[in-house]
Structure 1
Amino acid sequence: MNQKPQFLIAAPSSGSGKTTITQGLLRYLKNKGMHVQPFKCGPDYLDTKHHAWAAGNVSINLDTFMSSSEHVSNIYNKYSTDSEASVVEGVMGLFDGAKKMEGSSAQIAELLDIPIILVVNAKATAYSVAPLLYGFKNFYPGIKIAGVIFNFVNSESHYQFLKDACEDVGVTPLGYVPRNEGVNLPSRHLGLQITDATQYDSIIEKIASHISKTVDIEKLLEICSTPFQKQLQTTPKTKGNLKITVAKDEAFNFTYHENLSALNQLGEVSYFSPLQDEELPETDFLYLAGGYPELYLKQLSANVKMREAISTYCENGGKVLAECGGMMYLCDEIIDSKGGSYPMLGILKQKASMENMKLKLGYRKVIVDNQEYFGHEFHYSNLMEAENEFSIGEIYSARNKKMDTILFRKNNVVASYVHFYWGERNIMDLF
């Protein structure tokens, strides 16, 4: 058993700056020549993309609602085995879960037995952070708050009050980050924008440089260096022989890395672009992932050859899983926020509309044929004239409230607003 820095970056609430600080730390460690493994608590499929940019290494979702605790422990161990440091970014506030602490960052830190670095927005407070730190340190004995980074602190004198609070509570102060408009991450369509790589890389470099001036990163690594047990080698699973095709371009890219790994176990995976390509590869299973089809409506609609190729595949009984944006692509048309209509595949005789946008999000439990599947819903669009007669199964929230979200099955096409997680099961069971 060896020692390595491994920690979870959390905050009392969203908006504290943990995402910015996480990406700065990832890039700082990468620039030091360290092989750093990033992770993200929860179902977010965008932060993982930005982690990968910052660390130069794929980022993995850890989610104890959508998957078992054993699965979370196994994939953390699997991807951390060859790393020199493992950095987990939390979700929302430290104790915020699907229900109380269930699925929270705190639960995952306890499961993995790793220390927590708390990021606190101290913009409008000083010594009053003492009771906040005391509460987070002592509320739940199953976790360890190893240190604190204070965000939005513009002077050493302000920081001194915060250090006093840390000393009285018994938490290690690791420094502070002054406000700097030049290191703000760009806003996004659904969170953080997948923007120009060169521009984004420049911002991450600035963040890394900015935080390293006033945060004691070496001290952070020292106090978070804890025992790590390498994963034992396991016998590889037998690989299947399916031909699997995955949509992947600017319009369709919301995927979980472990989902793709599971597909690779089922056969040979190839990728194509509904935006650019005109032919669909020969396939036994087509995965239309979620994404931003509403930003590329004209281009998607104009690619008639691809629309016809996928439609023909569906009409001939081809197996398809379409999630959120992928489901919208299967509709007769997508209507933009201004009421403009764009013809799509026409497999589902309904319309997807961006008019009167309203956010709908949350964990989902899907029950089909007495089997449970888990996933997440996150969209602003809505369905018009939905083909309810093709609805199957039942969909519930994390608190077991029945939802009006529909899971469609039409021939061998399965489609829904739900983004499924199948890292530890065979998604082909849906068919």
Structure 2
Amino acid sequence: MPDRPSVPRANSAGSLIIAGTASNTGKTTVTLAALRAMRRKGLSVSSAKAGPDYIDPAFHRTASGAECMNLDTYAMSAGTLNHILGGLQERSEYTLIEGVMGLFDGSAAGPGSTAEIAGRFGLPVLLTVNVAGQSESAAAVVRGFMTHNEKVRIAGAVLNQAASARHGEMCRVAVEKVGCPVISVLPRQTDLALEGRHLGLKQAEEAPDLEAFIERAADWFERHTDWPAFLSLFRPPGIGPRPGPAEWGTAPLGAHTAVASDRAFRFFYPHLAAAWRERGAKISLFSPLAGETPHPAADAIYFPGGYPELHAREIAGKKELFGALRRAAGRGVPIFGECGGYMILGESITDGEGRTHPMAELLPVEFTIQAPERHLGFRKAALREAALGEEAGARFHAHEFHYASIRRTDPYSDSLKALFEMADSEGNPLGPAGHMKGSVAGSFIHIIDKVRD
């Protein structure tokens, strides 16, 4: 057997990126398995997810017991990135970062890839390769990834979906011949699959057997992994200056913001909550599905994205909630909704079966998901009016991902204004977007960070 590539055995705490050669290589399952296995060993571990994903971080949180943060080199400023990763490193000894799509894939404009995170922070990459149906060809794939960008270091490989012990050994020998240490050879296991829906995986709280799934995955990963070699891959990230409280994230909507939080409204970025709190803002949570209303002392109300279309009938029956929102709007309390949160502020939602459900009626917009049409991509958004705790003209990086559309709306006017002037990730104009009426505002985009020149 040929000599194996050397792997430094010093246990160096820090961060490690788990990336894939493409989507659907198994990197999410590998990440969850590694997080739980590390937690079971008593290691202090946190995690991050590359890109704007809301759903995977909840799975990370279940596996590790720690908050998972997003890292996005397209949508986040250098200060925000430094603050997030620096905070993770302060709170735990090890940080696992799950990549997005394939290692070098990013936005249409180019930035935003997992490779950019690796290059920016000088972090090693553990490459997940689905070796089903190949052996020597896996080595060619790994060699290509190793040489594609000199700023990105492939520190090791996980060979996933090996059909047998012999197949796995053939792949391991081939990959190690090109100088890449193989850390894990993971056999195909049919009970390790997660169910999805139209915006990705189902939410973690909707998977009743998630704990058992993660435990099985951790057993699988631990049994087939060179554990000392795996832990030796972590390296301290090269983090630049950490910004002050007002220099990262976005401004809080108010001194006390009531945030909708349940199965219908779950997509609230943890880094934005942290930025608001760091500026001294208070956040209280309420569940529209449970019939709760915003805290009476709140001076702002936020409805994040989620899946209100799946709960539209139930939400439509929450008359007390709608009454509380209308009274708050009447007092001039800022109310902001993003994507699914935008939809609840409108007049109605028509579900996939064609049934129309009345909503809060704070914005003259009717939404439908009856004929789903995917809207996906990074966005550049500039406020057309003062709102969201910012002055007119404030610019944001954001992400849009939804299948709902507007069935009917009133035209823009002096009383019903567009919230944003929008462009795609390459700067191509998309025109006005969203709505603002009095103190109520909403749009389909999810704000990730404020643009800071």
Q: How many residues align?
A: 423
* CA–CA distance in structure 1, aligned partners of residues 283 and 398 of structure 2: 22
What is the CA distance between 1:404 and its match in structure 2?
A: 5.6
Q: Is the 8 A contact 1:262 1:424 kept in 2?
A: no
What is the CA distance between 1:377 and its match in structure 2?
A: 0.6
| Structure 1 counterpart of 2:223 | 213
* CA–CA distance in structure 2, aligned partners of residues 286 and 244 of structure 1: 5
- Residue number among 367, 374, 377 corresponding to 2:400 in the alignment: 377
TM-score (structure 1 length as normaliser): 0.92
| Structure 1 counterpart of 2:255 | 242
- Residue number among 362, 365, 372 corresponding to 2:380 in the alignment: 365
What is the CA distance between 1:3 and its match in structure 2?
A: 3.3
Question: What is the one-letter code of the residue matched to 1:375?
Answer: A
List runs of 5+ in structure 2 lacking aligned partners.
Answer: 1-10, 384-391
Q: Deviations over 1:280-307 (max 9, x none)?
A: 3222111111111111112111111111
Larger mean CA deviation between 175-184 and 110-119 belongs to: 175-184
* CA–CA distance in structure 1, aligned partners of residues 231 and 16 of structure 2: 9
Q: Is the 8 A contact 1:4 1:228 kept in 2?
A: no
| Structure 2 counterpart of 1:325 | 340
Question: Counterparts of 1:18-417 in structure 2 under 5 Å?
Answer: 18-99=27-108, 101-194=110-203, 195-196=205-206, 198-222=208-232, 224-227=233-236, 242-264=255-277, 265-282=279-296, 283-368=298-383, 369-389=392-412, 390-403=417-430, 406-417=433-444
Q: Is the 8 A contact 1:147 1:171 kept in 2?
A: yes
Percentage of pairs with the same residue: 31
* CA–CA distance in structure 1, aligned partners of residues 335 and 113 of structure 2: 32
Instruction: Please give the root-mean-square deviation of Cα atoms over the aligned residues, in Å.
Output: 2.4
Q: Deviations over 1:292-341 (max 9, x none)?
A: 11111121111111111112212332211110001100111100111101
| Structure 2 counterpart of 1:428 | none
Q: Is the 8 A contact 2:71 2:81 kept in 1?
A: yes
TM-score (structure 2 length as normaliser): 0.88
| Structure 2 counterpart of 1:429 | none
What is the CA distance between 1:95 and its match in structure 2?
A: 0.5
Q: Is the 8 A contact 1:69 1:111 kept in 2?
A: no
SS of the aligned residue for 2:337 comes to strand
List runs of 5+ in structure 1 lacking aligned partners.
Answer: 426-431
Question: What is the one-letter code of the residue matched to 1:270?
Answer: S
Question: What is the one-letter code of the residue matched to 2:330?
Answer: E
Q: Deviations over 1:156-177 (max 9, x none)?
A: 2112221232222111111221
Question: What is the one-letter code of the residue matched to 1:277?
Answer: G
* CA–CA distance in structure 1, aligned partners of residues 19 and 285 of structure 2: 35
* CA–CA distance in structure 1, aligned partners of residues 360 and 184 of structure 2: 54
Q: Deviations over 1:22-60 (max 9, x none)?
A: 101111101111110100000001111110000000000
Describe the shift of the 1:190–1:92 C-alpha distance in structure 2 as closer, same or farther (beyond 3 A).
Answer: same
* CA–CA distance in structure 1, aligned partners of residues 244 and 372 of structure 2: 48
Q: Is the 8 A contact 2:121 2:237 kept in 1?
A: no
* CA–CA distance in structure 2, aligned partners of residues 149 and 143 of structure 1: 17
